[in-house]
Amino acid sequence: MRKFFQEIKADLKFKTAGPGQKLSEPSRVPKEKPKGEVTPKPRQGPTDEAQRAAAAALARMELKPKAKLPSSQEAIKNQVRKELMAEAAASERGLSEEEKDLASPDKEGAAAPSVSGVYFICPLTGAVVKKDKKEKHLREAIQSYFSVDPVAASIMEIHTFNKDREKVRVGVETMAKYLDNIYLHPEEEKYRRIKLQNKVFQERISCLEGIHRFFQAIGFETKTLPVPGQETTEEYYVLKEEMLTKLEDLKDYKEQLLSSEPVRAQLDRQLCVFKPSPEAARFELPNDFYNLTAEEIKREQRLRTEAVEKASMLRTRAMREKEEQREMRKYNYTLVRVRFPDGYILQGTFYARESVSVLYNFVREALRDDWLPFELLGPGGLKLTDENLAFNECGLVPSALLTLAWDAAVMADIEASGEEQPASPLKPELLSRVQTLS
């Protein structure tokens, strides 16, 4: 145990092992002399009382490794081991310690992440799914919806899985014209036929995912018909005869097609409440929070070593702003903790480009009395007064610890009223699942 802490002190600097525990260097114990060697006469021998105290201390030190370490010391030991291993491995590869942590967060001995990843709530099923499973789940959910409403399901496909929004707009508007012509001129057979090899159809409509299922859902069928004046045939979408009695339905389908929006999974805040902890400012984030691939993360971390040199150089304002913009684009999400005056901590996940007003609403919804006015203070006590700014514009990415401060005048009035106040301002249902921050 003594050797372990000496090695830690030599390699790393840290202050405490936990609340109220100081990590002190153990006393040195003289080595036992080999038998037969003459011991020089000491200048002054210790008293009997000192000898007994020293012997008791030595016995305690020798027995200490056999006892189970307190959890706080185990946490420190794990963290130290992680940092030492990361530093050694990174040194061998020529990488920085920070890059090692980001590139390989799940290696043995690594600290547990503050969150296991970024999660989303499917609006169709209500299921909570991880970021990398989100699109697959949405596809499966929309696919299953075909048995309920095939028209709505096909419209969802068109708007959700075609990422080029301009192509979607053009294709949908062209499709709407086809349906308008049928609705306004139902007696005209030419409007009820759409040639699949038509250039406009190919360039604007056929390229969209889900569009062919939409045609089938609203009453079109594929037919091979002769081309007038030629001996060849062409494939057409032809509206079924029975749909001529349901022209109002076609009009409704057109309106749905034009007014629909992509199906977007909602970011799950992963709301957590933690007991007071000195670890509140420490974050371990998974790669989901970065708008980078694993290789890009490695490259970004290599550039960190150059940042030290750049800091000592004179840089223009334009150079600094360019670097700040580059830094802001690096993150898609941020993990924010808000520490209350009683020490309890509220945690949530947000988009890096969401406004701070979303955070204020998040905190209010967690309060027992949501009318209580408060302010959020950033690092150094800086007040977050402009709620329209985004998290990345305030430097609150990829993580941040904020402090909540109540309105002093309101709190004074509440105390003067003499009414008994709850132990915590947070909702009871949140306190019932409070966690310990490790």
Amino acid of residue 300: E
pLDDT value of position 292: 59
pLDDT value of position 322: 55
Structure-model confidence comparison of residues 115 and 34, the more confident one = 115
Tokens in use for 12? 């790393």
Q: In terms of pTM, does the model score above 0.85?
A: no
Range with the poorest average pLDDT among 93-107, 136-150, 271-285: 93-107
pLDDT value of position 167: 96
333: helix, coil or strand?
Answer: strand
Contact 118, 267 (CB under 8 A): yes
Q: Quick one: which of 389, 269, 398 has its CA closest to 333?
A: 398
Range with the poorest average pLDDT among 193-197, 323-327, 391-395: 323-327
Helix (H) or strand (E) holding 2: helix 2-11
Q: Quick one: which of 144, 87, 137 has its CA closest to 110?
A: 87
Q: How far apart are CA 161 and CA 135, in angstroms?
A: 9
pLDDT value of position 221: 95
What is the band of 265 on the pLDDT scale with cuts at 50, 70, 90? very high
Average pLDDT, the chain: 78
What is the band of 294 on the pLDDT scale with cuts at 50, 70, 90? low
CATH topology for 272-289+331-432 is Ubiquitin-like (UB roll) (3.10.20)
Percent of the chain with pLDDT over 70: 66
Structure-model confidence comparison of residues 9 and 285, the more confident one = 285
In the chain, count of helices (H) and strands (E)?
Answer: 15, 13
Q: How far apart are CA 39 and CA 341, in angstroms?
A: 62
Q: Quick one: which of 126, 175, 133, 170 has its CA closest to 154?
A: 175
The domain segmentation of the chain, as residue ranges, is: 119-259, 272-289+331-432, 292-329
Q: How far apart are CA 428 and CA 367, in angstroms?
A: 9
Q: How far apart are CA 321 and CA 370, in angstroms?
A: 38
Give the single-character DSSP code of 331.
B
Please give the average per-residue pLDDT across 228-257, as a whole number: 92
Q: How far apart are CA 156 and CA 217, in angstroms?
A: 13
pLDDT value of position 26: 42
Tokens in use for 384? 């977050």
pLDDT digits (tens, 9 = 90+) for 331-384: 899 999 999 999 999 999 999 999 999 999 999 999 999 999 999 999 888 899
Q: Quick one: which of 197, 113, 211 has its CA closest to 157?
A: 211
pLDDT higher than 60, residue 244: yes
Structure-model confidence comparison of residues 230 and 322, the more confident one = 230
pLDDT value of position 4: 44
pLDDT digits (tens, 9 = 90+) for 152-192: 999 999 999 999 999 999 999 999 999 999 999 999 999 99
Sheet holding 345-351, edge to edge: 272-274, 345-351, 333-339, 399-406, 374-377
What is the band of 287 on the pLDDT scale with cuts at 50, 70, 90? confident
pLDDT value of position 414: 87
Structure-model confidence comparison of residues 42 and 112, the more confident one = 112
Structure-model confidence comparison of residues 208 and 31, the more confident one = 208
pLDDT value of position 299: 61
- The arrangement of secondary structure in 119-259, i.e. its CATH architecture, is Up-down Bundle (1.20)
What is the band of 303 on the pLDDT scale with cuts at 50, 70, 90? low
255 φψ region: left (φ > 0), alpha (ψ -120 to 50), beta (else): alpha
